[in-house]
Structure 1
Amino acid sequence: MKFITTKQWDEDLWHKTKDIYNVAFGEHATKPEKIIRNMFAKGLSSLHVLIENDKVFAMALTGSMPNSSVLLLDYLAVRKDLRGHGFGQELCEYIKEWARSQTQFKRILVEVECDETPGNLARIHFWEKCGFQLLDDYKHCYKWGPQHYMAMVLYLNRKPATPLNGEDCLKYMATFHKESYKLG
């Protein structure tokens, strides 16, 4: 198995990846392909995959605003028949090492649905196993959906003297999503 990261749109790689993305997140939680293409055209996104023999096992989309020290882990998914075998954690470890190699990144953020359902609690537990920690109890609800989100952070080196708070992290994420959806 090997990891691949691209900051450029790769039609062939996306074709091998998009089913994992669509199955994991469904039509209401995914960004349309034209928006993802736009994110790559603007230099906002990277695609990371775990692949073997031309078959993708896991994928992630990360993003950041220009000149930002924050990497947003926007989506991470494992092929449905391979979940529970550690591939998600492997991909997450790879992304952490990749982010450390990109000198601008100091932290990785992920937003999680925080309504206390078994699925949401399992996802929070997954991120905690990957080293992320929930920030304060600030919750945010986007205008396009009823779910409430909280921020989780992973500091790539050491925790800063003034750590981030949930509200600032979720504002950053909202700004990133808004910029992602601006076409042109």
Structure 2
Amino acid sequence: MALELNTLDHWDESLWQQMKPIYEEAFEHGAKPERILKVMLERRLACMHAAYDDGELVAMAFTGLGDSPEQPALIIDYIAIRKDRRGRGEGKLFFELLRDWAVLTYDIAAIIIEAEAANTPENRERIVFWEKCGFTPTSYVHHYIWIPETYRALVLPIDPSFAVADDGESLFRQITHFHEQAFRKKWDDSTAQPRS
């Protein structure tokens, strides 16, 4: 099995129209509105990723960088596999493509993802998936003021010197900063992080 990764650092409407059904299916709750996703790309805060199997779109993701220049981290904001393609190993393969891309492009020290913290079968299944990809869940549970769900950060160190010195709250400072930049009404282009 082989997937082909397509990564863009700018908004592409035709690619989005292909990705949108996967995004809407996977993220019924807690998804950013389309206009915010577009702003993230326009502000160069994020990249959009698509994975294809023999020309057929099977997975999508949006990623950005954390705000620690000493130990840059990739933040996976959204990642999803088409529902009819789940359980075939393509999710792990897609993640590995994203990981390798981030290491080559940004020399990242770690990858951070947040997952819903409520103890439900679906959430436990997600955590198990990320653990199989090498992630470690942190104990800190984050409460956003604008949504009712709680979240837990998971981290995958790439650089052996990367360490989380607390219970995971510091990871949420990076995640929250990333979200705040996307939702900020006024924007100073000089603060944008370059994407390549």
Inter-CA distance 129–65: structure 2 relative to 1 (3 Å threshold): closer
Q: Percent identity?
A: 36
Aligned positions, number: 181
1:37 equivalent in structure 2:
38
1:122 and 1:31 map into 2 onto residues whose CA distance is 23
1:47 equivalent in structure 2:
48
Kept in 2: contact 1:63–1:71 (CA 8 A): yes
Normalized against structure 1, the TM-score is what? 0.92
2:154 and 2:184 map into 1 onto residues whose CA distance is 25
Moved over 6 A (4+): none
**From 5, 12, 18, the counterpart of 1:16:** 18
Offset from partner CA, 1:64-118 (integer Å, 9 cap, x none): 2567411100111011111111111111000110111023421110011111110
1:151 equivalent in structure 2:
153
**From 96, 99, 105, the counterpart of 1:96:** 99
The one-letter code matched in structure 1 to 2:50 is V
What's the offset of the Cα at 1:163?
2.9
Inter-CA distance 164–35: structure 2 relative to 1 (3 Å threshold): farther
1:118 equivalent in structure 2:
121
Normalized against structure 2, the TM-score is what? 0.86
Structure possessing the higher relative contact order (Cα contacts under 8 Å, 6 or more residues apart): 2
1:180 equivalent in structure 2:
182
The one-letter code matched in structure 2 to 1:42 is R
Structure 1 range deviating more: 98-107 or 147-156: 98-107
Inter-CA distance 67–8: structure 2 relative to 1 (3 Å threshold): farther
**Gapped runs of 5+ residues in structure 1?**
none
Inter-CA distance 112–159: structure 2 relative to 1 (3 Å threshold): farther
Q: CA RMSD in A?
A: 1.6
1:63 equivalent in structure 2:
64
Kept in 2: contact 1:44–1:66 (CA 8 A): no
The one-letter code matched in structure 1 to 2:174 is Y
2:55 and 2:24 map into 1 onto residues whose CA distance is 19
